[in-house]
Amino acid sequence: MLGPAEVRTLAAELGVRPTKTLGQNFVHDANTVRRIVTAAGVGPDDTVLEVGPGLGSLTLALLDVVHDVVAVEIDPVLAQRLPQTVAERAESRVDRLAVVGADALRVRRDEIPGAPTALVANLPYNVAVPVLLHLLALIPTLRTALVMVQSEVADRLAAPPGSKTYGVPSVKAAYFGDVRRAGAVGRSVFWPVPQVESGLVRVDRHENPQWPMDETFRRTLFAVVDAAFAQRRKTLRAALAGWAGSAAMAETRLVEAGIDPSARGETLDAAAFVRLAQTTGGHES
């Protein structure tokens, strides 16, 4: 693993200055890196998809434990250097590392080799939720995800129905699996030191999902969720009028799904939103 001095030295050698645009904050604390690997629950049978490996601290720790690592890095300088960093510190493991130079938010399935079983990532704060949802949808073989995100985002992802922080990210993440907070991370373990606290979130994919997981249904479901939370203070009958075609049609579909039309979006769990997305409003689907 890379300590504080090594992180700064390597960054200087590469001419890397962490940018807010890419959300670059490099972890330099060995205990934190070990905590992440432990919380991820990965082992020798896992192929880990790592997003934003940066200078390689987490990559090195993962290669100590898992079968292989596929690292997706948007910064070409960092992507090119990562195999060398691993070779210098763990030469016997470099063959178990594959680096994909791509934007994780836009990466295609055919760009990612193999069948990754776990996502472990220190996600850029400005795109954390979209990246997490994109990868869970893109790679069905991912059984678990352990991501480090801004603490506030972690709260939103793991929020239960009825809470103040429950919203679009909570429902969409719960569609894929069981979501929970997996710890807090202080600012001092990063370079540069971020202005916000961080948190770990773990998603365990539903082994036997009780609803469709195909892209067509997912798009339908997510459209309903977006509409329901676009105007949080409105009843679902009013908030879903645009989605359903009218308030009356929204009420028909809500009743069909067994949902009170006067309820608000934050009271519905993922299963209720699924039932709503599956309604036809009296028309054959």
Tell me the DSSP string of 62-74: HHTTSSEEEEEES
Please report the pLDDT score of residue 22 as a whole number.
Answer: 44
* Domain termination residue (choose one: 187, 205, 223): 205
Q: Give the pair of three-digit tokens for residue 175.
A: 């569609």
Both 138 and 248 in one domain: the answer is no
Both 53 and 146 in one domain: the answer is yes
Both 132 and 227 in one domain: the answer is no
Domain for residue 282, yes or no? no
Both 132 and 241 in one domain: the answer is no
- 10 Å CB burial of residue 211 (0-12, 13-18, 19+) is middle
pTM, to two decimals: 0.90
DSSP state of 233: T
* Domain termination residue (choose one: 151, 179, 205): 205
Beta strand 144-150 pairing with 118-122: parallel
Q: Give the pair of three-digit tokens for residue 282.
A: 């009296």
Count of CA atoms in the C-beta half-sphere (13 A) of 221: 25
225: domain CATH number is 1.10.8.100
Domain for residue 122, yes or no? yes
Both 156 and 258 in one domain: the answer is no
Domain of 146, in residue numbers: 4-205
Please report the pLDDT score of residue 124 as a whole number.
Answer: 80
Please report the pLDDT score of residue 241 as a whole number.
Answer: 97
Domain for residue 19, yes or no? yes
Number of domains in the chain: 2
Q: Determine the 3-state secondary structure of 100 from DSSP.
A: strand
Domain for residue 267, yes or no? yes
159: domain CATH number is 3.40.50.150
* Domain termination residue (choose one: 154, 173, 205): 205
Neighbours of 84 (CB within 10 A): 11
Q: Determine the 3-state secondary structure of 279 from DSSP.
A: coil
The answer to whether the beta carbons of residues 173 and 132 sit under 8 Å apart is yes
List CB contacts of 268: < 8 A, sequence separation 6 or more: 161, 171, 228, 236, 259, 276
* H helix or E strand, kind and range, residue 200: strand 198-205
Q: Determine the 3-state secondary structure of 98 from DSSP.
A: strand
> Which of 161, 164, 13, 4 lies closest to 78, judged by CA?
13
- 10 Å CB burial of residue 91 (0-12, 13-18, 19+) is exposed
Domain for residue 284, yes or no? no
Domain for residue 271, yes or no? yes
Would you give per-residue pLDDT tens digits along the chain (285 residues)? Answer: 666 666 666 666 666 665 544 455 777 788 888 999 999 999 999 999 999 898 888 999 999 999 999 999 998 999 999 999 999 989 999 999 999 999 999 999 999 999 999 999 988 888 999 999 999 999 999 999 999 999 999 999 999 999 999 999 999 999 999 999 999 888 777 766 677 889 999 999 999 999 999 999 999 999 999 999 998 889 999 999 999 999 999 999 999 999 999 999 999 999 999 999 999 754 444
Please report the pLDDT score of residue 54 as a whole number.
Answer: 85
Please report the pLDDT score of residue 51 as a whole number.
Answer: 95
Both 151 and 247 in one domain: the answer is no
Burial 235-269 (b: 16+ CB within 10 A, else e): bbbbbbbebbeebebbbbbbeebebebeebbbebe
Domain for residue 93, yes or no? yes
Quickly list H helices, the chain: 4-14, 30-40, 57-63, 76-89, 128-138, 151-158, 168-176, 215-230, 236-239, 241-244, 247-256, 270-277
Q: Which residue has the tokens 């896992």?
A: 46
Both 149 and 236 in one domain: the answer is no
Both 11 and 114 in one domain: the answer is yes
CA-to-CA distance for 268 and 121, rounded, in angstroms?
A: 29
Domain for residue 90, yes or no? yes
Q: Which residue has the tokens 């352990």?
A: 146
CA-to-CA distance for 138 and 115, rounded, in angstroms?
A: 11
Both 161 and 35 in one domain: the answer is yes
